Structure 1
Amino acid sequence: MTENLEFPREALIRGEWRALPRRFPVVFPATGEVVAEVADCGIREAEEALEVAVAAQRTWAQATAYERAQVLRRWYELILAHEEALARLMALEMGKPLKEGRAEVRYAAGFVEWYAEEAKRVYGETLPSQFPHKRLLVRYEPVGPVYGITPWNFPAAMVTRKAAPALAAGCSFVLKPAEESPLTALYLARLFLEAGGPPGVFQVLPTSDPEALSRPFLEDERIRKLTFTGSTPVGLRLYQEAAKTLKRVSLELGGGAPVLIFADADLERAVAETLRAKFRNIGQSCVAANWLFVEEPIAEAFAQLYAERVRALRVGNPLEEETDIGPLVNEAALRKVEAHVEDALARGASLVVGGKAQGLFFAPTVLLGVKPGSRIFQEETFGPVAPILTFRDEAEAISRANAFPVGLAAYVFTRDLSRAFRVAEALEYGIVGVNDGVPSTPQAPFGGVKRSGLGREGGRWGLEEYLEVKFISVGGI
Structure 2
Amino acid sequence: MENYTNLNKQYISGIWREGNGKSLYQNINPYNQEIITDIQMASQQDIDEAYEASKKVQKDWEKVNAFEKSEIMEKAVEIIKKRREEVVELLMLEGGSSFIKANVEVDFCISIIREAASFPMRMGGEMVPSLVPGKENRLFRKPLGVLGVISPFNFPMYLSMRSVAPALAAGNGVVLKPDEQTAMAGGTIIAKIFEEAGLPQGLLNVVIPSIEEVGDGFVDHPIPQMISFTGSTPVGKHIGALCGKNVKKVALELGGNNPLIVLEDADLEKAVNSAIFGKFMHNGQICMAINRIIVHEKIHDEFLEKFIKAAKEIPVGDPFNKKNMIGPLINREAVERILKEIEKAKQQGAKMVLEGKVEGNVMHPTILTSDTNEVSTSKNEMFGPVVTVIPFKTEEEAIEIANDTQYGLSGAIHAGSIEKGVQLGLQLETGMVHVNDQSVNDEPLIAFGGEKQSGVGRFGGRWSLDEFTTYQWISTQDVAREYPF
TM bucket normalised to smaller? over 0.9
SS at match of 1:472: strand
Q: CA deviation at 1:122?
A: 2.6
Deviation per residue, 1:319-378 (Å, 9 max, x gap): 111111101101111011111222222333322223321111111111123654321133
Q: 1:206 aligns with which of 205, 208, 224?
A: 208
1:467 aligns with: 469
Q: Which amino acid aligns with 1:9?
A: N
Give the TM-score taking structure 2 as reference length.
0.94
Specify whether residues 6 and 313 from structure 1 end up closer, same or farther in structure 2 by C-alpha distance, changes over 3 A only: farther
Equivalent runs, 1:308-319 vs 2, <5 Å: 308-319=309-320
The separation in 2 between residues aligned to 1:376 and 1:469, in whole angstroms, is 44
Q: Which amino acid aligns with 2:195?
A: L
Answer yes or no: is the 8 Å Cα contact 2:19–2:41 preserved in 1: yes
Specify whether residues 119 and 106 from structure 1 end up closer, same or farther in structure 2 by C-alpha distance, changes over 3 A only: same
2:445 aligns with: 443
Q: Which amino acid aligns with 1:338?
A: L
SS at match of 2:252: strand
2:182 aligns with: 181
Answer yes or no: is the 8 Å Cα contact 2:373–2:390 preserved in 1: no
Answer yes or no: is the 8 Å Cα contact 1:232–1:452 preserved in 2: yes
1:363 aligns with: 364
Q: CA deviation at 1:211?
A: 5.8
Q: CA deviation at 1:212?
A: 4.3
Answer yes or no: is the 8 Å Cα contact 1:428–1:449 preserved in 2: yes
Q: CA deviation at 1:424?
A: 1.1
* Matched residue count: 474
Answer yes or no: is the 8 Å Cα contact 1:7–1:187 preserved in 2: no
1:259 aligns with: 260
Deviation per residue, 1:270-301 (Å, 9 max, x gap): 11112111111110010000000001111111
Specify whether residues 323 and 103 from structure 1 end up closer, same or farther in structure 2 by C-alpha distance, changes over 3 A only: same
1:401 aligns with: 402
The separation in 2 between residues aligned to 1:274 and 1:83, in whole angstroms, is 29
1:90 aligns with: 91
**Is 1:135 equivalent to 2:106 in the alignment?**
no
1:386 aligns with: 387
1:115 aligns with: 116
Moved more, 22-31 or 282-291: 22-31
Answer yes or no: is the 8 Å Cα contact 2:350–2:375 preserved in 1: no
Q: CA deviation at 1:4?
A: 6.9
2:483 aligns with: none
Q: CA deviation at 1:305?
A: 0.9
Identity of aligned residues (%): 33
SS at match of 1:474: strand
Answer yes or no: is the 8 Å Cα contact 1:79–1:188 preserved in 2: no
The separation in 1 between residues aligned to 2:213 and 2:136, in whole angstroms, is 48
Deviation per residue, 1:159-213 (Å, 9 max, x gap): 1111111111111000000011001121121011000111111111112x13644
Q: CA deviation at 1:7?
A: 5.8
2:27 aligns with: 26
The separation in 1 between residues aligned to 2:219 and 2:292, in whole angstroms, is 36
The separation in 2 between residues aligned to 1:4 and 1:146, in whole angstroms, is 29
Q: Which amino acid aligns with 1:150?
A: S
**Is 1:41 equivalent to 2:42 in the alignment?**
yes
Aligned CA RMSD, in angstroms, stands at 1.7
The separation in 1 between residues aligned to 2:399 and 2:371, in whole angstroms, is 18
Q: CA deviation at 1:138?
A: 0.7
1:158 aligns with: 159
1:335 aligns with: 336
The separation in 2 between residues aligned to 1:236 and 1:78, in whole angstroms, is 36
Equivalent runs, 1:321-332 vs 2, <5 Å: 321-332=322-333
Specify whether residues 4 and 227 from structure 1 end up closer, same or farther in structure 2 by C-alpha distance, changes over 3 A only: closer
The separation in 2 between residues aligned to 1:374 and 1:10, in whole angstroms, is 44
2:80 aligns with: 79
SS at match of 1:341: helix
Answer yes or no: is the 8 Å Cα contact 1:46–1:214 preserved in 2: no
Moved more, 60-69 or 246-255: 60-69
Structure 1: gaps (5+ residues): none
The separation in 2 between residues aligned to 1:371 and 1:396, in whole angstroms, is 11
Equivalent runs, 1:280-291 vs 2, <5 Å: 280-291=281-292
1:9 aligns with: 8
Moved more, 288-297 or 131-140: 131-140
Answer yes or no: is the 8 Å Cα contact 1:229–1:251 preserved in 2: yes
Q: CA deviation at 1:132?
A: 4.3
Moved more, 143-152 or 47-56: 47-56
Q: CA deviation at 1:131?
A: 3.9
The separation in 2 between residues aligned to 1:276 and 1:458, in whole angstroms, is 23
Specify whether residues 358 and 370 from structure 1 end up closer, same or farther in structure 2 by C-alpha distance, changes over 3 A only: farther
SS at match of 1:297: coil
The separation in 1 between residues aligned to 2:327 and 2:367, in whole angstroms, is 17
The separation in 2 between residues aligned to 1:230 and 1:36, in whole angstroms, is 24
Structure 2: gaps (5+ residues): 480-485
Moved more, 60-69 or 217-226: 217-226
Answer yes or no: is the 8 Å Cα contact 1:68–1:119 preserved in 2: yes
Answer yes or no: is the 8 Å Cα contact 1:347–1:370 preserved in 2: no
The separation in 2 between residues aligned to 1:473 and 1:317, in whole angstroms, is 62
**Is 1:53 equivalent to 2:54 in the alignment?**
yes
Q: CA deviation at 1:248?
A: 0.4
1:124 aligns with: 125
Q: Which amino acid aligns with 1:133?
A: G
